Structure 1
Amino acid sequence: MAGGSSTSSIVSQPGFASVVALARSPAALKAFRTAGLLAGLWFFLTFWHKKDPKKAKKLESKLVTDLSKVGRRVKQDEYGYDPDEYDVVIVGGGTGGCVLAARLSEDPTIRVLLLEAGRSNLDDPVALVPAVGTRTFRTPLDFNFWTEEQKNADGRKRYWPRAKILGGCTNTNANCYHFGAPSDYDEWAQLQKNQEGAEAWSYKEFLPYFGKFEKFTPSKDYPGVDASQRGSSGPVDIGYFGHLSHSPGAFIKACINAGIPHNPDVNTAQGTLGVTKCVVLGAVHFQITDRDEPVTYIDSKGQRVTTETAYLTPTVLARPNLTVATKAYVTRVLFDTKDASKPRAVGVEFADSTGAKYQVKARKEVVVAAGAVSTPQILMLSGVGLAEHLSDFRIPVVADLPGVGSHLMDHLVVDWHFKDKSKTGINFLRAKNFSQKVQLTTALVQYKLTRKGPLTSNIAEVAAFVRADDPRVFPENKYSQTALPEDTSSGKNAPHLEIFGSPMIYEDFGFGWTPLESHFGLHTVLLRPKSTGQIRLRSTNPEDPPIIDPNYFTDPNDVKTLIRGARLVQDLVKVEPLASVVDHTGDGSPGTHHHLHTVTDKELEKLILERAETLYHPCCSARMAPLEDGGVVDPQLRVYGIPNLRIADASVFPTIISGHTAAPVIAIAEKAADLIKAAVKQT
């Protein structure tokens, strides 16, 4: 049949003409387009993900990976020589450690060594893409910690991500710049009970350390932000950066319509209550038009800011008095105990990837900045901790400090999922089908060429901080059936709950179910838990993770507070303009929570206990408090009984703050550097 286009006529044609006709069929053309797209995606990702050998070589020239150049090899049963000496040895190159190394080495007379168990990740071309920080979870760049089974929280173990990278968890967090309520720090000072230096932790006295590291970029689109209250010359870029998706934008207006005030800057003396676009560490700016649609623009970087990128710059790494050693796993702090009543930290032992051990001497101070999990573990392995616990492992006791590993606190979050009618969600970042792969390819190309678009999202794009007893938010006539929890806040202007909005949803930290359709998430965070837990040794092997038991929900007030938060979420999705974003075809769909208004408080409690996960904010496990109150360090961050051993990370929080923890850790490290500089000069 001349000119026929049916499959039968094509097959009947002989030779080359048959092949050409078959190739022109709609099915074949679609297959070719699909294959071409996937091939292009493969080529693009292969090219983009390929590590730059020149950049890697440049990094290696600045960072020490041959540990024999840092310390002397420890031969079995032979400790009779003097190892290499430094004035200050810093254990842990995470959020606080990078700050300490940079600030202490500003003084050319102080020789500084920074030991980091992981490595730099800056040779990975996607390491600083804001939206993909969690890609390091459950990889060699993560400590892969798990809690014990939580008997009051569905009996499950919880995964605790902790980055094993220079810069620590600033590589993986949501980049939210928030440091809690002013009264949180006044409470810190009060908990010191008038010890020398206690008042220096009050909000008024501690605030300058936040300004010291800030470099705030004002925006003409946010005239409500008083730039004079923000730092302008620090090493850490902060500002109203990042992609703003449609559903989080609608969340802001819905909160205002529901009685939650708008707060353009939640980091001032006026307090943190209200709803806001998250201020982030990064490099992408945006504005909201009258129609609440984001118009984004970007500076020359468009990248995540970590404490490695901010503080360990090439200029800093070139200082002759600073050595940064990576893949150096600290096994213990070394002490001189000739006078048992006055032990002194004299150095650090560490191992390389083969298990070979090395030692270095600290002439002046040792500073442990390994985080709220590893810091107490290292202290206990070194003989500093509860004597009874150490004796179980036959570890010689250097200092009997029961507070080491105790009073562990954490922020819990419960994620609530809703189908998104606007179809502007970014679940395609974990592409599962052809359509999502097309969206991901588009976003990758957009970011690569312009540094704009969804990949500049910090995921937690907007947040509201509320009190559970605020009558504007929880009017009695509407919430009378929901129990009012006990007030655990640090003051009348401090929140109990954070509700943040994200343009995507995730289960099991992104390793579980991912929907094919567009969804958004609203997340309730318990900011002031009453439950506390502990860190304990599992063995004397430093590479064995410690026993982590946060004791979630041991106090019933915690679940009461989260029930209030869930009730607020169920009401917010009914308030315009967010109500118009909710796609009710998702009602009853697995993994969504459109039905919250239909469940009883008892049923809601069960959901919360099943779904609650860490918000990555463990702290207080070596807290700054009086010795009689279970304290480990004094207001100068010195370990009790060992004045030249200090701690400078989230473990020293006297109690958990009502906000995000990265900023206060950076400020603590800034303050610790000043304290150490002064002490070194005196000695």
Structure 2
Amino acid sequence: MSSTYDIVIVGGGTSGLVLANRLSENPNLQVIVLESGVDLKDDQTTLTPGAWPLLSNSPADWSFRATPQENVTRQIAIPQGKALGGSSAINSFLFSPTSRATVEGWKNLGNEGWDYTVYEEAMKKSFTLHKPSGATEGTGPLQLTLATPETPWEKAWIDGLESVGFPQTDPLSGHLGGPIIAPESIDPSTKQRSYSANAYLEPVRSSRPNLTIRTETTVTRVLLERPSSADDAVAKGVQFISKDGPQTIGVRKEVIISAGAINSPRILELSGIGGAALLQSLGIKVVVNNPHVGENLQNHLFTGLVFEAYDDVHTLDAFFRQQPDVVDTASKDYKAKKRDPLCTSNMITMAQLPLPDLHTEDGHKDLDQLLGSLDPASDASRSPPTTPAFAAAHQAFIRSLLTNPSEAVGNYVFGAAYTPFDKPEDPTYRAPGKYVSIAIELSHPLSRGSVHINSTTPEDAGTNQGLIINPRYLSHPLDLEVLARQVRFTEDIISRAKPLTARLKPYTKRFTDLEATKDYVRQTADGAYHYTGTCSMMPRAMGGVVDNRLRVYGCSNLRVCDASIVPLAPTANPQAVVYPVAELGARFIKEDIL
């Protein structure tokens, strides 16, 4: 292994391997990727779509935990991929692009060059979509499978929502507002997971001598020098720990941190980039004083409802209860015929919908009352050191979506099986009988949390220790109001959607009272695995950590390129956001250094 490289990529996850592929296209660039986890290319649990739930709390998961939440009862687990491919190696496959309005919202924070047309081009460069007709769209490395609504439940979901005024929409259009069958990152020819490791890395790994991959190698800090107090810091290399002990490598051009929304701010702080008070309290020399590092953590909070189905309809309950005969049949079918339920995530029946409750005159009054009592200064004080400018911009963005009947503000995932939403004490519980479940997700949270280090021990950097992760769920009162109204909205939809109700046992509405619904949300809500924002892309004065070309403020040759740069949460699962972010990041780097 060389002691110096042109490009050092910290993290071989979803984004890191996109960068590795695109940057090593130039044979004159010596590129190295340093990844804490292992290579799972032959691991059948990773490759088998229906086995994805088994990957949480496995060696491929960092298994982070949030601090106890003041407004949410449940203990919050934070799975993050620890392997080549990162979270794309353990996620649930859904490729659900965010809305045009969201991307334009990023641009409007001051990020020139992030127009939706540019973003969409980068997204389509990342994938090849295989349509039910046999046609394909795109020529990118990631393989996507798009199904038609074939099962009775899929058809009932689509037809049911159409019957109450929400026609099916194109999941890749950027215009969301109805039911969809979501594309999955599954290769239709093999029925196996397609992710950044086997899509972006494996096809070039053996043919590019200028690309080096090191696994089980944890970066503990970036080595920074500052010629004078007036100059930007310069990355000279990185320090890391491997099975051979502590080592250092140098860099000639750039260091790119692609360690994810939890680990990227950790590496910056360990390197001396962060809030001066925190760094000094831990004995870290302050290289760049930026208290916004690790702030603006955003995630989708969700709860859900369960409805009992008639006994003569088919559901996946027996499979999820792991009844031996059903599991054995599924395994044999997958090996022989590549058939459900192991060849899919079983979560593709979705909808991204507006919230009509807030489009009425009374709804506008409620929203005005809620937001009118919260000026940007008070909102900023709710999550220091958020700036008043960003608090105002964030609030204005959310308000624009909530009041627009054409914009989706909630994400809904339908599944034909029981989900223990109201049993946080036993998430493994599966009720006898047959059910359908609807996960109800707050797409655009106003609550913001943080990720900060509380240890400088190098060995902690490769574990889930040494960090305080506080999402601060429901710290903004509008989030509770909107999510509770989404619960009532969902119950109302189901009660009126005859294609669905024809297959469900009679159901008495539980959530006629809004305050009681809010209590249900507090008791049952959980965090999705969609963390963003901790190294946000926006002007430094507004609270940014990186600029519009992903360069870390105060550093001349250090960038962050992953989900942490996304300043406003996407509408749903972030996989379809991280790939275009990485494609754009690779383009910026090529333009800037070559």
Q: 1:182 to 1:314 in 2, by over 3 A?
A: closer
Q: 1:131 to 1:476 in 2, by over 3 A?
A: farther
Deviations along 1:583-608, one digit per CA (max 9) or x if unpaired, are 34xxxxxxxxx554355222211111
501, 515, 524: which one pairs with 1:579? 501
Q: 1:597 aligns to what SS in structure 2?
A: coil
TM-score, length of structure 1 as denominator length: 0.77
- 1:66 aligns with none
Return 5+ residue gaps in structure 1 as ranges. 1-68, 71-83, 193-197, 222-226, 284-298, 585-593
Greater RCO (CA < 8 Å, at least 6 residues apart): 2
Q: 1:570 aligns to what SS in structure 2?
A: helix
CA distance in 1, matches of 2:237, 2:532: 25
Deviations along 1:330-360, one digit per CA (max 9) or x if unpaired, are 1111112343432101111111257x21111
70, 83, 101: which one pairs with 1:183? 101
CA distance in 2, matches of 1:334, 1:371: 20
- Contact 1:414–1:612 (CA<8 Å) still a contact in 2? yes
Deviations along 1:441-491, one digit per CA (max 9) or x if unpaired, are 1111000001112112323221111112378xx7789x9999897681565
- What is the root-mean-square deviation of aligned Cα atoms in Å? 2.5
Q: 2:356 aligns to what SS in structure 1?
A: coil
Q: CA deviation at 1:147?
A: 0.6
Q: CA deviation at 1:621?
A: 0.5
Deviations along 1:9-63, one digit per CA (max 9) or x if unpaired, are xxxxxxxxxxxxxxxxxxxxxxxxxxxxxxxxxxxxxxxxxxxxxxxxxxxxxxx
73, 86, 108: which one pairs with 2:5? 86
- Contact 1:330–1:351 (CA<8 Å) still a contact in 2? yes
Q: 2:213 aligns to what SS in structure 1?
A: strand
- 1:546 aligns with 467
Q: 1:406 to 1:654 in 2, by over 3 A?
A: same
- 1:260 aligns with 166
Does residue 535 in structure 1 map to residue 451 in structure 2? Answer: yes
- 1:315 aligns with 204
TM-score, length of structure 2 as denominator length: 0.88
Return 5+ residue gaps in structure 2 as ranges. 372-396
- 1:410 aligns with 299
63, 70, 86: which one pairs with 1:168? 86
Deviations along 1:234-268, one digit per CA (max 9) or x if unpaired, are 111224149965434312111111111221x1322
Does residue 669 in structure 1 map to residue 579 in structure 2? Answer: no
Q: CA deviation at 1:91?
A: 0.6
Q: 1:596 to 1:446 in 2, by over 3 A?
A: same
- Contact 2:355–2:489 (CA<8 Å) still a contact in 1? no
Task: Please identify, of 233-242 and 205-214, the stretch whose mean Cα deviation from structure 2 is larger.
Answer: 233-242
Residue type of the alignment partner of 1:548: I
Task: Please identify, of 603-612 and 329-338, the stretch whose mean Cα deviation from structure 2 is larger.
Answer: 329-338
- 1:347 aligns with 237
Residue type of the alignment partner of 2:144: I
- 2:26 aligns with 107
Q: Mapping of 1:191-590 within 5 angstroms?
A: 191-192=109-110, 198-220=111-133, 231-241=137-147, 245-263=151-169, 265-269=170-174, 271-283=175-187, 299-340=188-229, 341-353=231-243, 356-421=245-310, 422-432=312-322, 436-469=323-356, 488=398, 491=401, 492=404, 493-507=406-420, 511-541=427-457, 542=461, 543=463, 544-574=465-495, 575-584=497-506
CA distance in 2, matches of 1:236, 1:352: 30
Q: 1:469 to 1:599 in 2, by over 3 A?
A: closer
CA distance in 1, matches of 2:586, 2:415: 36
CA distance in 1, matches of 2:503, 2:113: 47
Deviations along 1:282-303, one digit per CA (max 9) or x if unpaired, are 13xxxxxxxxxxxxxxx43011
- Contact 1:626–1:634 (CA<8 Å) still a contact in 2? yes
Q: 1:242 to 1:536 in 2, by over 3 A?
A: farther
- 2:374 aligns with none
Q: 1:88 to 1:261 in 2, by over 3 A?
A: same
State the percentage of identical aligned residues.
29
Q: 1:110 to 1:320 in 2, by over 3 A?
A: same
- Contact 2:488–2:512 (CA<8 Å) still a contact in 1? no
Q: Mapping of 1:146-161 within 5 angstroms?
A: 146-154=65-73, 156-161=74-79
Does residue 118 in structure 1 map to residue 37 in structure 2? Answer: yes
CA distance in 2, matches of 1:489, 1:452: 44
Deviations along 1:288-320, one digit per CA (max 9) or x if unpaired, are xxxxxxxxxxx4301121111110124334310
Q: 1:560 aligns to what SS in structure 2?
A: helix
